[in-house]
Chains A and B, each alone.
Chain A
Amino acid sequence: MRRMYHTQEKWAKKLTSPIKCVRDNAWLGEGFYFWDDLDFAHQWGKSSKKNTGEYEIYEAEIDTENVLNTVFNEEHYDFWLKQVEKVAKKIIKKTGTKPSIKEINEYFVERGEWNEVDGIMFQDIPMNMNYILVQGLWYKKRIQLVVYNEKIILNFSFYIDDKC
């Protein structure tokens, strides 16, 4: 189990379950997105959930048993890296264009039929010095989880709200 955070705009009613991201530019494809670190959950609220001027953060317990954990599981990371490059090379060779990480992940799920993978945990570079206390070193992983199987999201509840 892993405690993670889900950020949304603040509306009149509190959420009872997370909102599925179906945007075409969703980073890791269609699914329920969670942050590992509360700071980045706040950052996302302030930068991207501004429609109502306030945002809410929800917390949940995530059953990560069948999550591809490319951040903390070395075997999963090595495996995922190999598969990403394998699919990317094929797409570049066949189409002459580089795929996005979203397309790679959707290829895994749809064409590779990775139905047993409940989600993917991934990190990138924070690029915001407000959350970094050491000059010039991005030491803090910005970790996100995309959940494809809603059943692994447990005890979803309101945590905190704030202004953008």
Chain B
Amino acid sequence: MLDLKNLERKLDSALEKESNASLKEWLSSKRFKGYFGDKKFESRTVFKQKASFEFSTDENNLEVSDDRKIVNSNISYDLAA
């Protein structure tokens, strides 16, 4: 049986230790490392456009070669199984 009090204590302790920088760093690694490795990505789209992406904690830019640009767009999450 799960000890909920102990889980809460561990979570509170982790949250107390977080600084702005540590939380931003953890979050950015979660959001982009899987896709973009070292926070950079470059590929061709299905329309043969060159698409590049570089992540920063302040602004997320997706550049496509014909001047289309998506700034700070939300990345959608699917159900998964």
List chain A positions with a Cβ less than 8 A from chain B.
Answer: 6-7, 21, 23-28, 33-35, 44, 48, 65-66, 68, 75-76, 79, 82-83, 86-87, 90-91, 94-95, 97, 99-103, 106-108, 110-114, 116-117, 124, 144
Tell me how far the C-beta of A88 lies from the nearest C-beta in chain B, rounded to whole angstroms.
Answer: 11
Q: Report which residue of B8, B10, B15, B76 has the largest number of chain A beta carbons within 10 angstroms of its beta carbon.
A: B15
Interface flag for B7 (CB, 8 Å): yes
Q: Which of B18-48 contact A (CB under 8 A)?
A: 18-20, 23-24, 26-27, 30-31, 34-35
Chain B contacts for A111, CB-based, 8 A:
11, 14-15, 18, 26
Main secondary structure of the interface of A (DSSP, over half): mixed
Main secondary structure of the interface of B (DSSP, over half): helix
Instruction: Tell me the bound Cα distance from A108 to B12 in angstroms.
Output: 10
Question: Would B78 and A87 count as touching, CB distance under 8 A?
Answer: no
Q: Which residue of A lies closest to B12 (CB)?
A: A86
Instruction: Tell me the bound Cα distance from A28 to B30 in angstroms.
Output: 13
Looking at the complex, which one of B1, B2, B8 makes contact with A83 (CB distance below 8 Å)?
B8
Instruction: Tell me the bound Cα distance from A25 to B30 in angstroms.
Output: 10
What interface size band does chain B fall in? Answer: 20 to 34
Tell me how far the C-beta of B3 lies from the nearest C-beta in chain A, rounded to whole angstroms.
Answer: 7
Q: Which residue of B lies closest to A44 (CB)?
A: B81
Instruction: Tell me the bound Cα distance from A102 to B79 in angstroms.
Output: 10
Top 8 nearest A-B pairs by Cβ distance?
Answer: A24-B34, A33-B81, A112-B11, A26-B80, A111-B14, A94-B23, A25-B77, A27-B80
Chain A contacts for B10, CB-based, 8 A:
112-114
Looking at the complex, which one of B4, B15, B20, B80 makes contact with A21 (CB distance below 8 Å)?
B80
Instruction: Tell me the bound Cα distance from A82 to B79 in angstroms.
Output: 23
Tell me how far the C-beta of A64 lies from the nearest C-beta in chain B, rounded to whole angstroms.
Answer: 10
Q: Given the known A-B contacts A34-B81, A94-B20, are A25 and B7 also in contact in the complex, defined by CB atoms under 8 Å? A: no
